[in-house]
Amino acid sequence: MAWNLRFRRKRDLPDGLWMKCPDCGATVFKKQVEERLQVCPECNYHFNISGPDRIKILADEGSFNELFSDLGPVDTLEFADVKNYADRLRSEQAKTGQKDAAIVGTAAIDQHPCILGVTDSRFMMGSMGAVVGEKITLCAEEAIKRRLPLVLVSGSGGGARMQEGIISLAQMAKTSAAIARLNDAGVAFISILTNPTMGGVAASWAALGDILIAEPKALIGFAGPRTIKLTLRIDLPEGFQTSEFLLKHGFVDMIVSRVDMKREVGRLLGFLSPAPAR
């Protein structure tokens, strides 16, 4: 008997419909990830997102008004490694459309007015140089002046920016002093730690919130686990420097998924905002 078999030709699928999760390895529908604010639907892995996207997620629509947008970095030390710092800055500015890694302004979160700032890991890993330190400091001062809670979101995996040398390191003390003044003034500060928050940022303003919120599975610490292990030659606890480890040991107050972040921060602002003057 002759068999007349016909095989249906496989239909070509458009590019860009699927993406692979780097955490669980699952191939997931890209649109579904976008609908979940860049969170994997299989394992809850939080993809890195830009500073403007974080503002869009947190702030009520149309409420964000940027402050201090005129501040830009200067290559004071004329630093060069594999690339001149001045050239690197121009490249990062062209890539991101931002002058530096921090974006700050006034906003409302779930109808609660606040001062909102974010650091963007796309710009030199969100590292803190003079401009980032100045913007964080001005944020705190603006929060004191306006009697508004301060909400800062850290995506600073680069810590202090080595291309600015001691100028960058000085921002740790500068921002910490600004947060201390905020605390003395009785103005609330919510710090949101995302993946990664490391180095001089983690060792200064990012760790000084009245409430520390972390996204799930975020890497948070000073030196990275690989650096610590190679330097001290010790085996680190499983999950060391992750949000979950730090919550268990009392460093962070809560872990909140990105899809719930706006609602949770709004709820906290409702408790922390000062009562209106009578």
Same domain, 228 and 259: yes
Q: In sequence order, what are the residues at sequence separation of 6 or more whose Cβ sits closer than 8 angstroms to the Cβ of residue 55?
A: 64, 103, 105, 107, 116, 118
Both 156 and 232 in one domain: the answer is yes
Domain boundary pick from 8, 32, 47: 47
Q: What is the pLDDT of residue 277?
A: 43
pLDDT of residue 278: 44
Same domain, yes or no, for 23 and 140? no
- Encoded tokens for 133: 């330190």
Domain membership of residue 245 as a residue range: 48-72+100-272
What CATH code is carried by the domain that includes residue 59? 3.90.226.10
User: Does 84 reside within a domain?
Assistant: no
Residues 6+ apart with CB under 8 A from 89: 73, 75
d(CA 123, CA 51): 9
Residue 253: inside a domain, yes or no? yes
Q: Are residues 253 and 264 in the same domain?
A: yes
User: Do residues 26 and 59 both lie within one domain?
Assistant: no
Same domain for 68 and 133, yes or no, is yes
Q: What is the pLDDT of residue 14?
A: 56
* Residue 85: predicted pLDDT: 96
Q: Please tell me whether residues 40 and 134 are part of one structural domain.
A: no
pLDDT of residue 204: 96
Instruction: Give me the residue label for tokens 């803190």.
Output: 128
- Contact status, residue 121 vs residue 157, Cβ threshold 8 Å: yes
114 domain residue, yes or no: yes
Same-domain pairing of 246 and 141: yes
Residue 230: per-residue pLDDT: 83
Looking at the domain assignment, is residue 2 inside a domain? no
Same domain, residue pair 38 and 52: no
Helices 51-58, 258-272: axis angle to 10 degrees equals 60
Per-residue pLDDT of the chain (278 residues; tens, 9 = 90+): 555 555 455 455 456 789 999 889 999 999 999 999 999 999 999 999 999 999 999 999 999 999 999 999 999 999 998 899 999 999 999 999 999 999 999 999 999 999 999 999 999 999 999 999 999 999 999 999 999 999 999 988 888 999 999 999 999 999 999 999 999 999 999 999 999 999 999 999 999 999 999 999 999 998 877 778 788 888 888 888 999 999 999 999 999 999 999 999 999 999 987 554 44
Total domains present in the chain: 2
